[in-house]
A and B are shown apart, each in its own frame.
Chain A
Amino acid sequence: MAVITPDNRGLRLVVRYAVLTLIAIIFIFPLLFMGMSSLKPDQQLLADTSSLRAFLPVGDLSLENYREAFERAPVGLFVFNSVLVTGTTVLLSLAICSLAAFSFTYLEWRGRGLILSIILATLIIPFETIAIPLLLLVSKLPWIGFEGLEWGWLNSYRVQIIPWIADGLTIFLFVQYFKDLPRELIEAARVEGASWFQIYYKVVMPLAGPVLATAAILKFLVMYNQYLWPLIVVQQESYRPVMVGLQYFFQLNIAWGEVMAYLTLITVPVLAFYLVLQRAFIASIASTGVKG
Chain B
Amino acid sequence: MADVRLKNVRKSFGAVDVINGVDIEVEDGEFVVFVGPSGCGKSTLLRMIAGLEDITSGTLSIGGTVVNEMPPKERGVGMVFQTYAIFPHMTVRENMGFGLTIARAGKEEKDRRVNEAARILQMEHLLDRRPSQLSGGQRQRVAIGRAIVRKPSVFLFDEPLSNLDAALRMDMRMEIGKLHQQLEATMIYVTHDQVEAMTLADKIVVLRDGEVMQVGTPMELYHNPANLFVAGFIGAPSMNFLSVDVSEVADGVALVSNPSLDPVRIGSVKQPVAVGHKATLGIRPQYLHPTDPDKGMLHGTVALTERLGAETIVDVAMKDGTKIIAALSEDRMLDPGTEIGLTFDTEQAHLFAEHP
Interface residues of B in 135-178 (CB under 8 A from A): 143, 146, 150
Interface string of B89-102 (1 = CB under 8 A from A): 10000000011001
Residues of B within 8 A of A203 (CB): 87
A193 adjacent to B73 (CB under 8 Å): yes
Chain A residues closer than 8 Å to B84, beta-carbon distance:
184
Instruction: State in angstroms the CA–CA spacing of A188 and B142 once bound together.
Output: 13
Interface pair B83/A182, CB less than 8 Å apart: yes
Chain B's closest residue to A199 (CB) is B102
Q: How far is the CB of A124 from chain B (nearest CB, A)?
A: 32
A193 touches B87 (CB 8 A): no
Report yes or no: B83 in contact with A194, Cβ–Cβ below 8 A: no
Bound together, the chains give a CA A198 to CA B87 distance in angstroms of 14
* B50 is an interface residue with CB less than 8 A from chain A: yes
A193: chain B residues at CB < 8 Å are 72-73, 99, 102-103, 150
Report yes or no: A194 in contact with B79, Cβ–Cβ below 8 A: no
Neighbouring B residues of A202 by C-beta, 8 Å: 102
A6 adjacent to chain B (CB < 8 Å): no
**In the assembly, what is the distance between CA of A127 and CA of B150, in Å?**
52
Interface SS, A side: helix
Q: Check A190/B71 contact, CB under 8 A, given A206-B89, A207-B89.
A: yes
Min Cβ gap B142→A in Å is 11
A contact residues around B79 at 8 Å (CB): 187-188, 191
A69 to B287, CA, bound (A): 98
B89 touches A191 (CB 8 A): no
In the complex the two chains form, is B102's CB within 8 Å of A187's CB?
no
Contact B88 A191 (CB under 8 A): no
> With an 8 A cutoff between CB atoms, is A189 at the interface?
yes
- Point out the residues of chain B lying under 8 angstroms from A182, CB to CB: 83, 85
> Smallest CB-CB separation from B146: which chain A residue?
A192
Contacts of A63 in B (CB 8 A): none
**Best-surrounded residue of A187, A195, A203, A207 (most CB of chain B within 10 A):** A187
Q: Is A286 an interface position by the 8 A CB rule? A: no
Instruction: Decide if B281 is an interface residue (CB 8 Å cutoff).
Output: no
Determine whether the beta carbon of B81 is less than 8 Å from that of A187.
yes
B77 touches A (CB below 8 Å): yes
**Would you give the 0/1 interface string for A183-219, flagging 1 where the beta carbon is closer than 8 Å to chain B?**
0110111111111001000110011000000000000
- Cβ of B73: which chain A residues have Cβ within 8 Å of it? 190-195
Contact between chains at B78 and A191 (CB < 8 Å): yes
Contacts of B85 in A (CB 8 A): 182, 184-185, 187-188
Q: How far is the CA of A179 from the CA of B103 in the complex (A)?
A: 27
B99 touches A190 (CB 8 A): no
Taking the closest CB of chain B, its distance from the CB of A206, in whole angstroms, is 4
Count of A interface residues, CB-CB < 8 Å: 17
A188 to B82, CA, bound (A): 11
From A182, A188, A193, residue with most partner B Cβ within 10 Å:
A188
A192 engages B52 (CB within 8 Å) = no
CA separation between A231 and B223, bound complex, in Å? 85
Most B C-beta atoms less than 10 A away, residue of A182, A192, A194, A195: A192
Chain B proximity of A5: nearest CB distance (Å) = 36
With the chains together, A203 CA to B89 CA distance in Å? 8
Bound Cα distance from A185 to B146, whole angstroms: 13
How far is it, in angstroms, between the C-alpha of A202 and the C-alpha of B84 when the chains are bound? 18
Closest residue of B by beta carbon distance from A192: B99
Residue of B nearest to A207 (CB): B89
Nearest CB of A to B285, in Å: 38
Contact of A187 among B52, B88, B99 (CB under 8 A): B52
Name the one of A190, A194, A195, A206 contacting B52, with C-beta atoms under 8 angstroms.
A190
Q: Give the distance in Å from the alpha carbon of A190 to the alpha carbon of B74 in the complex.
A: 10
B92: min CB distance to chain A, Å? 14
Q: How far is the CB of A39 from chain B (nearest CB, A)?
A: 47
Give the distance to chain B from A186, nearest Cβ to Cβ, in Å.
9
Q: Is the CB–CB distance between B52 and A185 below 8 Å? A: no
Known contacts: A185-B85, A207-B88. The answer to whether A191 contacts B98 by CB under 8 A is no
Residues of chain A with a CB closer than 8 A to B50's CB:
187, 191
Cα A202 to Cα B85 with chains together (Å): 14
Residue of A nearest to B47 (CB): A187
Query: Which B residues between 64 and 78 are near A, CB-CB below 8 angstroms?
Result: 71-73, 77-78
**Which residue of A184, A187, A192 contacts B98 across the interface (Cβ within 8 Å)?**
A192
Q: How far is the CB of A208 from chain B (nearest CB, A)?
A: 10
Residues of B within 8 A of A190 (CB): 51-52, 71-73
A203 to B86, CA, bound (A): 10
Give min CB distance, A14 to chain B, whole Å: 36
Min CB distance, B50 to chain A, in Å? Answer: 6
Within B13-44, the residues touching A (CB, 8 Å) are none
Q: A198-B102, A207-B88, A207-B89 are in contact. Are A191 and B83 (CB under 8 A)?
A: no
By a CB distance below 8 angstroms, the chain A residues around B150 are: 192-193
**How long is the Cα–Cα vector from A194 to B146 in the complex, in angstroms?**
14
Interface residues of B (CB under 8 A from A): 50-52, 71-73, 77-79, 81-89, 98-99, 102-103, 143, 146, 150
Which 5 interchain pairs have the tightest Cβ spacing? A184-B85, A193-B73, A192-B99, A188-B85, A206-B89
Q: Can you spell out 6 A-B residue pairs with CB atoms less than 8 angstroms apart?
A: A187-B52, A187-B85, A192-B98, A193-B73, A194-B73, A203-B87
Told that A192-B98, A192-B99 touch, could you supply 14 new A-B pairs with CB distance under 8 A? A182-B83, A182-B85, A184-B82, A184-B83, A185-B85, A187-B50, A187-B52, A187-B81, A188-B87, A188-B143, A191-B51, A191-B72, A191-B77, A192-B73
